[in-house]
Amino acid sequence: MILTAHQPVYLPWLGLFHKIALSDRFIFFDQVQYVPKDWINRNQVKTLQGSIMLTAPVLRKGYLEKKISEIEINNDVPWARKHWKTILLNYKKAPYFKQYADFFEDVFGRQWCLLADLNFHMLRWFLSTLGIETILEKASDYNFQGVKSDLVLDMCLKLGADIYIFGALGRDYADVEAFLKAGVKPLFQSYKHPFYRQLHGKFLPNMSILDLLFNEGPSSLDIIMSENINKNDILTSKFN
């Protein structure tokens, strides 16, 4: 079984969906400590002025000691209305905007209490819309133990994984020897970002998945996977 995991991300970039598509099972890792100024509550979209960051504000009291699953959104700030207005203004002329707009209008019309709930709700929709059938689960439904590499290995052993896919930064902390000794093959993603149609001038990589979906619609998953490794390559040992 091929396993991967990642902390909750707000409006994720394309590379996360590539990693999930390679896997049989994805763990939404909401039980690690919240890290400010990361991608947990923000991401980039493209506008006439270039890329801008959309940030869901969080309540800051004690937030550095909280797990991601406990982080509350600061709804005293009208962030959701601003995010939807920005998306509408900059993507309404995209070829597939109307096909997906209703979902986002509904999301930003609700009041969300917990950031992880918002991110999980959108991730589940993104996976379904892209056609990625990987099993999606939350770390908070389990009791994984340890820190960093040991935590990931404990998750692999408890879930019966044969292969674990780290992101590119996993090389900085993964104890490869410990994984191999435990019978789990660690692999490291190296994602090549594709080009695709965009509005507003020069192509900008590393935008939110929104940018790809609104511009390319049903072709989005093929574009995400293009020129990158696929699951069959892993199973035939072409991925190192």
Residue 42 main-chain phi, psi, to 5 deg: -155, 160
- Whose tokens are 């929709």? That residue is 125
**Stretches in the chain below the pLDDT threshold 70:** 238-240
Q: Rounded CA gap, 165 and 187, in Å? A: 5
Residue-wise pLDDT tens digits, 131-166: 999 999 999 999 999 989 999 999 999 999 999 999
Expressed in percent and rounded to 5, the helix, strand and coil fractions of the chain are: 45, 15, 40
Answer whether 17's CB lies under 8 Å from 38's CB.
Answer: no
- For residue 222, the model assigns a pLDDT of 98
- How far is residue 43's CA from residue 51's CA, in Å, rounded to a whole number? 10
pTM: predicted TM-score of the whole model, two decimal places: 0.95
pLDDT score at 150: 95
* Nearest Cα residue to 30 out of 119, 125, 110, 160: 119
* Residue labelled with tokens 């919240």: 34
Give me the residue label for tokens 């950031």: 115
pLDDT of residue 65: 85
- Per-residue pLDDT of 95-141, as tens digits, reads 999 999 999 999 999 999 999 999 999 999 999 999 999 999 999 99
What pLDDT score does 62 carry?
A: 87
Residue showing tokens 């049989």: 24
What DSSP string describes 112-150?
-SBHHHHHHHHHHHHHHHHT---EEEEGGGS---SSHHH
- Distance CA(213)–CA(104), nearest Å, equals 12
